[in-house]
Amino acid sequence: MARITYGRRRVLVTGGAGFLGSHLIDRLLARGDEVLCVDNLFTGDKSNIDHLAANPRFEFMRHDVCFPLYVEVDQIFNLACPASPIHYQHDPVQTTKTSVIGAINMLGLAKRLRVPILQASTSEVYGDPHIHPQVESYWGNVNPIGIRSCYDEGKRCAETLFFDYYRQHALDIKVVRIFNTYGPRMHAADGRVVSNFIVQALQGHDITIFGDGSQTRSFCYVDDLIEGFLRFMEAGPDVHGPINLGNPNEFTIRELAEAIIAQTGSRSRLVTMPLPADDPTQRKPDTTIAQAELAGWEPTVELEEGLRRTIAYFRSALKIA
């Protein structure tokens, strides 16, 4: 039976103390919801949510989603999972457990409450893709036993679980495949390329290009992604995805480094380092479905502007004049 909502909507965000989760919570609170943030602070940081502590509609619970969670909410956004290669490879078994057992627990919670649940999946489900740009119907090219597999296969299994709960239990699921997203509150030391290059440039250190820098990524500014999350959750019970969300403008990693050097005015040198195993050579979302299903959603912040805002954040966070 559907849960009856009295007064405000109460929204659960797992991984809410992380980069994306904290931005999502800001938007949910701004529109008047109550928010329950569940996070074990593995890669997240309380500083991302400190500014919410005095808000009576915000609640934080330190909890690992690998363990059952009995709470009462009206919507669930399941973001809990380390996201950067350095972080998810630090304890790969825990990464798979978080993706798979965490998904089972959050789906069990959604099933008991009969509420919609959105899963933060990833472009990594396409692996090193043979189809370019990536469309949702592509099944991917993923190594099941490599160093990225704990994340890639964990997220793929989570997608399987979401679709089985939909087919078997008629759950209202929403699966988002997120392409590289960046912005303020990224972890300064998580090794992701945008934060790494900005921190290196601001500190005058060498900028570390892995491989020859010809591999591509398409970078989405965080605000655009969160807008897509919110539209997806409101899209109604017939819209399940998977839906790609990302900015389709594609850049080589070398172009990204040059853009960051230009904007920071840094004198850092570009140096090359070995390419990590299974590093995808190209990535760019096809966003046709997002536009059609999510009321014309499309990114509005292009790389130059997004980098400007992110560089300003890191200048302040790292106390660099």
Instruction: Examine residue 247 and tell whether it contacts ligand NAD (CB under 6 A).
Output: no
Which of 259, 279, 313, 317 contacts ligand UDP by CB under 6 A? 279
- Residues 6 or more apart whose CB falls under 8 angstroms from that of 263 comprise 304, 307, 308, 311
Q: Which does 253 bind (CB under 5 to 8 A by kind): ligand UDP, ligand NAD, none?
A: ligand UDP
Closer CB to ligand UDP, 14 or 287, in the complex? 14
Closer CB to ligand NAD, 120 or 171, in the complex? 120
Q: Which structure tokens are listed for 300?
A: 């509005």
Instruction: Examine residue 215 and tell whether it contacts ligand UDP (CB under 6 A).
Output: yes
Length of the chain in terms of residues written: 321
Comparing CA positions, the residue from 236, 218, 219, 223 lying closest to residue 297 is 223
Instruction: Examine residue 317 and tell whether it contacts ligand NAD (CB under 6 A).
Output: no
Scanning residues 110 to 149, which ones bind ligand UDP (CB under 6 A)?
111-112
Instruction: Examine residue 82 and tell whether it contacts ligand NAD (CB under 6 A).
Output: yes
Q: Which structure tokens are listed for 70?
A: 């009995």
Q: Which does 215 bind (CB under 5 to 8 A by kind): ligand NAD, ligand UDP, none?
A: ligand UDP
Q: Which stretch binds ligand NAD (CB under 6 A): 9-17, 203-211, 290-298, 313-321?
A: 9-17
Active site residue 151: yes
Q: How far is the CB of 7 from ligand NAD (least distance, A)?
A: 27
Site string for ligand NAD, 159-188 (x = CB under 6 A): -------------------x-xx-----x-
Dihedral sign (CA 251, 256, 259, 263): positive
Site string for ligand NAD, 10-49 (x = CB under 6 A): ----xx-xxxxx-----------------xxxxxx-----
Closer CB to ligand UDP, 29 or 101, in the complex? 101
Q: Which stretch binds ligand UDP (CB under 6 A): 25-33, 36-44, 188-196, 290-298?
A: 188-196
Q: Which of 151, 165, 182, 221 is catalytic?
A: 151
CB burial of 112-121 (b: ≥16 within 10 Å; e: otherwise) equals ebebbbbbbb
Q: How far is the CB of 85 from ligand UDP (least distance, A)?
A: 5
Q: How far is the CB of 35 from ligand NAD (least distance, A)?
A: 14
CB burial of 60-80 (b: ≥16 within 10 Å; e: otherwise) equals beebbbbeebeeebbbbbbbb
Interface positions with ligand NAD (CB under 6 A): 14-15, 17-21, 39-44, 64-66, 79-83, 87, 98, 102, 120, 122, 178, 180-181, 187
